[in-house]
Amino acid sequence: MAKKVDSDKPAGARTRRAAASAPAPAGDAPFWRTKTLEEMTSAEWESLCDRCGRCCLVKLEDEDTGKVYFTEVGCKLFDAKVCACVDYQNRQAKVSDCIRLTPEEVRTLSWLPPTCGYRLVRDGEDLMWWHPLVSGSAETVHEAGVSARGKVKALEDDVPEEDLPEFVASWPTKVPARAKKKPGG
Query: Given the rule CB under 6 A, which residues bind ligand SF4?
Result: 7, 9-11, 49-56, 75, 77-78, 85, 88, 91, 95, 98, 101, 113, 116-118
Nearest to 117 by CA among 181, 28, 179, 182: 179
**Helix runs in 21-151, H state only:** 31-34, 42-47, 91-94, 103-108, 117-122, 132-135, 140-143
CB of 169 to ligand SF4, least distance (A): 15
CB of 119 to ligand SF4, least distance (A): 7
Closer CB to ligand SF4, residue 21 or residue 96?
A: 96
Dmax over CA atoms of the chain, in Å, equals 54
Q: Are 56 and 149 contacting, i.e. CB atoms less than 8 angstroms apart? A: no
Closer CB to ligand SF4, residue 4 or residue 35?
A: 4
The residues pairing with 168 across neighbouring beta strands, listed in sequence order, are: 71
CB of 26 to ligand SF4, least distance (A): 27
Q: Are 152 and 74 contacting, i.e. CB atoms less than 8 angstroms apart? A: yes
Q: Are 40 and 16 contacting, i.e. CB atoms less than 8 angstroms apart? A: no
CB of 150 to ligand SF4, least distance (A): 15
In this structure, what are the phi and psi dihedrals at residue 135, rounded to the nearest 5 degrees?
Answer: -80, -25
CB of 10 to ligand SF4, least distance (A): 2
CB of 153 to ligand SF4, least distance (A): 15
Give CA–CA dist 143/133, Å, rounded. Answer: 15
Closer CB to ligand SF4, residue 19 or residue 95?
A: 95
Closer CB to ligand SF4, residue 2 or residue 106?
A: 106
Closer CB to ligand SF4, residue 40 or residue 55?
A: 55
Q: Are 84 and 51 contacting, i.e. CB atoms less than 8 angstroms apart? A: yes
Closer CB to ligand SF4, residue 10 or residue 164?
A: 10
